[in-house]
Amino acid sequence: MSEAVISSQNLRDTVIEAVQSQEVTDIHTHLFTPPFGDLLLWGVDELITYHYLIAETFRKTEVSYEKFWRMSKTEQADLIWQTLFIENSPISEACRGIVTTLNELGLDVASRNLQSYRDYFASMKVEDYIDLVFNLAKVKEVVMTNDPFDSAERPVWLSEVSGDPRFQSALRIDPLLNAYHEAACDQLSAFGYDVDRSLSERALGEIRRFLGDWIKRMKPKYMAVSLPPDFQFPEASARGKIIEACILPVSREFNVPFALMIGVKRAVNPHLQLAGDGMGKADLTCLENLLRENQDNKFLVTLLSRENQHELCVLGRKFKNLMIFGCWWFMNNPSIIEEITRERIELLGLSVIPQHSDARILDQLIYKWKHSRQLIGNVLAEKYQDLLDSGWIATKAEIQRDVAALFGGNFYRFIE
């Protein structure tokens, strides 16, 4: 047997090295390729004004919501830096992420000098910075979140410019499913699709045509929607009807999986704007129904409630058309990543996608992947050690094969 990994220390080093060096396909981000212009966020002021830090700042500042939202981005970053990094130690996961990122970029985090960090970015060209970040984070490619209803994004797609091929697309359909009557119906009419509010057979056909047109245009890796915790399926609603009559058949026809991100309660505190979303535990009967009744469809699923994670793993054992991915948003904290990764591997072995970054700011790829690699590496090392204790001697090549599957291979095998 070649390069058998027998001693405990050798085993741990081999696993950690495999996880550290494996390039990753990041299957869900909010990043954009450069032709999308200002939609691609990067740099220290964007990092500091990430909505996770905005929510944390309001717990420590007397500045009112109104005053904060009137500030320029630089002023907001100054306030957040002062509040979370100078007057307090940046100990939360989102704050620590900034420290990791600056440190990995070679900046002097001990100086606590925000202006010096701004100076570093001032002369940087975005294309060069993308290379630097992808190299540091060992990210091979990222999947964007692409909304054909978005007025900033849509014209770029219609102009057919081709961007950096490391940025793949995902067709995001929240407006279609979550706000059909409020907005999407009128927008679709304005785009030239003959739809109506009653969702007649003709309108459903037009929605299928719309989805097909955008699949041909974007070549998305999947279609995705975020859903509230009270999502049901089947459901006597516009959303239920569109999923049944449009999303599922189109997903099958074009072999584009349907990604469901369940558990978000949008705007529980609207004063916080993007930082004001909350979450709740879902009833996974909806997924059970979808998976059982549509076994020729592929579903990628991530959930926002910790309390749903175990049930989701059990569903994974029952349905091979379910691929569980990532530790989404409020799940993306060290204690929970470690717990869910262990739970998933114990119940599903190596047939999951353990993490995505959800990066909104390019630089975040650095810390999100550094932190996640550390946690996933530790869990895997423990699991291979358990195997060794049971008498199974893994080889280095086998461990590298397994890690490659977790960091991208499983995704491609599932969607292709």
Task: Output the CA–CA distances (angstroms, integers) from residue 307 to 51, 111, 227, 341, in the order listed.
Answer: 24, 41, 16, 14
Comparison of 11 and 31: residue with beta carbon closer to ligand FIX: 31
**Using the rule CB under 5 A, is 147 a contact of Zn ion?**
no
206 binds, among ligand FIX, Zn ion, none (CB under 5 to 8 A by kind): none
**Using the rule CB under 6 A, is 26 a contact of ligand FIX?**
no
Q: How far is the CB of 306 from Zn ion (least distance, A)?
A: 17
Q: How far is the CB of 190 from Zn ion (least distance, A)?
A: 27
Q: Of the candidates 39, 329, 342, 374, which one interacts with ligand FIX according to CB under 6 A?
A: 329
Instruction: Choose among 140, 239, 217, 205: nearest CA to 171.
Output: 217
195 binds, among Zn ion, ligand FIX, none (CB under 5 to 8 A by kind): none
Please state whether beta strands 264-265 and 278-279 pair in parallel, antiparallel, or not at all (unpaired).
antiparallel
**Using the rule CB under 5 A, is 358 a contact of Zn ion?**
yes
**Using the rule CB under 6 A, is 302 a contact of ligand FIX?**
no
DSSP code of 257?
Answer: P
**Using the rule CB under 6 A, is 363 a contact of ligand FIX?**
no
Q: Of the candidates 226, 251, 308, 355, which one interacts with ligand FIX according to CB under 6 A?
A: 226
Residue 413's Cβ-side half-sphere holds a number of Cα atoms within 13 Å equal to 14
CA dist., res. 332 & res. 338, Å (int): 10
Q: How far is the CB of 174 from Zn ion (least distance, A)?
A: 10
226 binds, among ligand FIX, Zn ion, none (CB under 5 to 8 A by kind): ligand FIX
**Using the rule CB under 6 A, is 14 a contact of ligand FIX?**
no
Structural tokens at position 260: 């469901």
Q: How far is the CB of 53 from ligand FIX (least distance, A)?
A: 12
Buried b / exposed e over 115-127, threshold 16 CB at 10 Å, is: eebeebbeeeeee
Q: Of residues 55-114, which lie at the interface with Zn ion (CB under 5 A)? A: none
**Using the rule CB under 6 A, is 265 a contact of ligand FIX?**
no
